[in-house]
Structure formats: structure tokens, C-alpha cells
Amino acid sequence: MNDRPVMIEFDNVQKVYPNGTVGLKDIDLKIYEGEFVAVVGLSGAGKSTLLRAINRMHDVTGGDLKVDGQSIVGYKGKELRNLRRSIGMIFQDFNLVNRSSVRRNVLSGRVGYYPTWKSSLDLFSSEDKKRALDSLNRVNMTEKLYTRVDELSGGQQQRVAIARALMQDPKIMLADEPIASLDPLTATAVMDDLLSLNKDLGITVLANLHSVPLAMKYADRIVGLRAGQLVYDKPIAEVSQDDFEGIYSENEAVKEGALNG
Amino acid sequence: MDKDLLPKRSFAQKYHVRGIGGTILFFFLLWGSAVMTGVNWGDFFTNLDQFFDLLSRMAHPAWDYTNIVIQPIIETIQMALIGTTIGTLIAIPFSVLAARNLVKNPIVRGIIRFILNLVRTLPDLLLAALFVAVVGIGSTAGVWTLAVFSFGMISKLFYETIETIDDGPLEALRAAGANNVQVVVFAVIPQVLNSFVSYFLYTFEINVRASTVLGYLGAGGIGVYLQRSLSSFRYDQTAVIVIAILLVVIVIDAVSNKLRERLQ
């Protein structure tokens, strides 16, 4: 379906939590460079686990996972940190340091490129300080540079979080329910920001979304998870609203039918 | 409403067995302790006149003694300040290593917490006696006593503070490729700094009060003069010392409380 290079490749990936809960089961999935993929599914279907497997915030328990052609499942230490700094991540609860300024939060996205002592002493290069301004500019938050994060609204905080992730110069952006804590209007603004990263900067975006209409509006492709399994994968042109009943229904019979859908 | 539909309370819940039992047990222990230690109310009241005698002799402070008291009282504050600072500096790395949300390895955490618990069981007077024996009489012993005492206290306050922080920023920093030290610097310290300063001031307050007594064991400061005046029955001088201590403690408590309020 795609002539672009593969960015992320799940090969029969399994994830079983220590308590026996199945997080991911038999996942085979290829994400191509520059795609905007929305992941949909019920809470607990494994959407977060899928995203966090890619930057190894969660370890997988079976199968192989490649990012940019390299198998990442065995990464440790420096290698793992270098993988993580090439992948931006934004979160439902923004995960900013509330007591710090916007500037410091944004700069903290760059620490993966600095030795410990240099970053600890706040010795960021003038190039990176400019990069912080550019990142904030991209999400229209430049005037809040010296504001403390806890004085910002939710939508503004999420945009600062996007600016922080941009500091990493990421190839991939993972967005874990980025708009679940926001009102519809700011949600649209944040989704627009994500879309512009995807279209203007060519960053591959993988976003967990609860809202099917937003997924249909922004994504190039929608994948559905159910009980840790991939039950749906279609480019946006082939998606119809009826498809989602299988993913979101609690009904077992529908689930069996949707497994091949 | 139909009474049969409500869930039934158990016997223990219905008749408050625990509350009543606990109260009876408490009074029994109180009475038992009084009997065993031979508390005599009569003695207490017949000796009250001695107490008033002491008070009347302290009622005429030897004000000219004030000049002599100033130097040791400054020394007491200095002891408290240096001791608290040393204790705090040592407590910071320990509290990071003892925090459940930062150190996932239960063995490392267990060892660190065991050391901290051990340090906290030592009363400050015992520590003072120990350090006077080791480094000799003088304020150095007092400083070390207060350092160890504040280390034990502060490390527990600190690691409990670290454990209450929001883990979200930590996750975000790790996801951005930060190493452990960078996570602490950028995500932990900004969240705990105010509480840390507040606990430092609180411990300093306690140490000023504690260090007034440490001199009794030879650990320097105003306590030395307190002991000297008491053993030579110069209650007029004792009065000056008590007033001086009271003033210093009130001022330091007030200043530190004001500062801590601002940090909230």
C-alpha cells in the first residue's frame, strides 16, 4: 500500500505483564515514514502498551520490534537513551514540571543530547536556546516563555509539551491520548499542531485516540486494538463509520467477527 | 425503608467493641504505669514550695550577666546552622536512594532505609555523649551531634516528600532519553525544592532548641553556662540564660515559620 520506507515494524510482538495480564498479543504491524496513524480501541485494549513498546518505556516479552530498520528489543543504557531521544512523546496529562518555567520544561526535552554535568548546570548551547524559541513558536506559545507551567491552561500545557518533544528533533512522535483531558476546541488546536508536525516536518505520528471522528479527520490510517490484538487496519479512504462497532462493542460475538475485519 | 434490606452490622461494629476495649486497655496501662513507677501525688504537692522558692530566686535576673551570655548563645545558633547544613547535605543523596519511585531495586532501598532507621533510633543526648567522648569537649562535638541527628530526621522527611511527587514528568524525561541524574535534576528537584527548604528550616528550629541542652554534656554552646549557673546555685544567672534562650527560640521559630508559609 505504500512505497515509503518502513519506520516502525512490529513482528509478532507479545507483551504479558508480570501479573499475567496480556498487554499485546501477536501484533504484526508496519508503520511507514511520514504516516499519521491513529490507534483506536477501548480503555485497556493495549493502546498505551503499543505506544510505549516503541520507545521501550514498556519492554515486550516476545517477538521483534524494529525502529528505522534496527531491532530495539535488546537495547540498554546509552543505546536505549539514544533511541528514546529520537522519539518524541506526549501524554494525556501533559507531564510537565508545574513549578518550572515553560523555558526550562522545553529545554529539558534536549537533555538526551547533553552530558549529565552540562545539562545539570543548565549549560545549554545558544543554538538549543534558539531551538527552544522555534519549537515554542511552532505551537504559538512564544510569549509564555518565562511563565510558570501551572499558570497555563490545559491546551497551552499540551502545546508546551509538544514543543518539549520537538526539542528532541524526533523522527517519530508518540501521542498517548493527547486530547483526552481537553475541551473540544483546544483539542482541535492540539490536533492541528500534531498534523502540522506530520505534514511540514515529515515526523511519523502515532496517536492513541478515543474520538473516532477526530481520528477520521486527522489520520492517514486507523488501526484498532481489542484485548491486546490488532483487529483493524485500514487507510483512511477505506474507513467507514460502521467499522468501529466491532472495535468498541462489548459484545463477544461481534469481537469474533471483527478479528478479521 | 424496609429494615431487612439494609446490610447487617457485625457484633463488633454494633457495640463498638474496639473503641471501648481500646479505651479500657489505655486506662489500665496508665494505672499500671503509675503503680509500677510509684507516682506519689502527695510528694508532688508537698514539694511545690521548693518550686516557688526557685521561681522567686529567679525573679531577680542578674542583668549584668547578659554580656557574658551573648557569645555562647550565638555559638549555639552557629552550631545548629552548621550541624543542620552538614546533615542536610548528606541526607540528600540518601533520600534519593531511599525513595520508592526513584530506586526500583528493593535491596538497595532496603539497605539505605535500614541505615536511616538505625541513625534515627539514636537520641540526640546519647549522640552528644558519644561525640564528646570522641572529639572532646567543645562545640565541635555539638556540631557533629546535630549533623547526625538532622541527617536521620531530614532524610526521612525528604524521601517521603520525593515519594509524593507527580511521576508524570519523570516518565516524560525518561521518554526523552534522559539518564537517571538528569531525571532527578529536571523532574524531581523542581517538584521537591520548596518542601526541602521548608524541612531544612523546621529541622534548624528543632536543632536550636536541642543545642541549648547539648552543652549540658559538654558539647558547647549556651548549655555549658546553664549547667554552670545551676550547679553553683546562681539562679539569678540561670534566669538570664532561660530568658535569652526563650527569646532566641521565639525569634527563630517566627522567622522560620514566616519563611515556610511563603514557600507553600
For B29-42, write each residue's pLDDT tens digit.
Answer: 999 998 888 887 77
Residue A206 domain flag: yes
With CB atoms and an 8 Å threshold, state whether B186 touches A91.
no
Looking at residues B232-257, what average pLDDT do you find?
Answer: 87
pLDDT value of position B111: 93
**Residue A24 is assigned to a structural domain of this protein:** no
Task: Give the residue ranges of DSSP H helices in chain B.
Answer: 11-14, 17-37, 41-46, 48-58, 66-98, 106-121, 124-135, 139-163, 168-175, 180-183, 189-214, 222-231, 235-263
Q: Which residue has the higher pLDDT, B46 or A27?
A: A27
Does the residue A2 lie in any domain?
Answer: no
pLDDT at B4 over 60: yes
Listed residue (A139, A143, A41, A155) closest to A94, CA to CA? A155
Closest-CA distance, A217 to chain B, in angstroms, reads: 27
| pLDDT for residue B225 is more than 50 | yes
Chain B interface includes A111 (CB < 8 A): yes
Do A98 and B175 make contact, defined as CB atoms within 8 angstroms? no
* Chain B residues within 8 A of A164 when measuring between CB atoms: 172, 176
In a domain, residue A57? The reply is no
CATH number of the domain bearing residue A177 = 3.40.50.300
> Would you say residue A64 lies in a domain?
no
Number of domains comprising chain A: 1
The answer to the question of residue A68 being in a domain is no
A30 occurs within a structural domain: no
Contact present, B249 and B209 (Cβ < 8 Å):
yes
Segment A155-165 shows an average pLDDT of 92
Contact A104 B181 (CB under 8 A): no
Sorted by where each starts, the structural domains of chain B and their CATH numbers stand as 67-263 (1.10.3720.10)
Per residue in A7-19, pLDDT tens? Answer: 999 999 999 999 8
What is the pLDDT, as a whole number, of residue B165? 92
Closest CA of chain B from A122, distance in Å = 10
Query: Which residue in A83, A95, A112 is closest to B178 by CB distance?
Result: A112
pLDDT value of residue A254: 40
Domain that holds residue A250: 39-46+76-258
Q: What confidence tens digit (pLDDT) does each residue in B91-119 have?
A: 999 999 999 888 888 899 999 999 999 99
The answer, for B185 touching chain A at a CB cutoff of 8 Å, is yes
CA distance A226 to A258: 9
Closest residue in B to A169 (Cα) is: B176
Instruction: Report, in angstroms and rounded to the nearest whole number, the Rg of chain A calculated over CA atoms.
Output: 19
Q: Whole-angstrom Cα distance, residue A156 to residue A166?
A: 15
Residues B80-98: pLDDT tens digits? 999 999 999 999 999 999 9
Domain membership of residue A120 (yes or no) is yes
DSSP label at B4?
Answer: G
β-pairing verdict for A36-40 and A87-90 = unpaired
Candidate from B171, B178, B185 with C-beta closest to A57:
B171
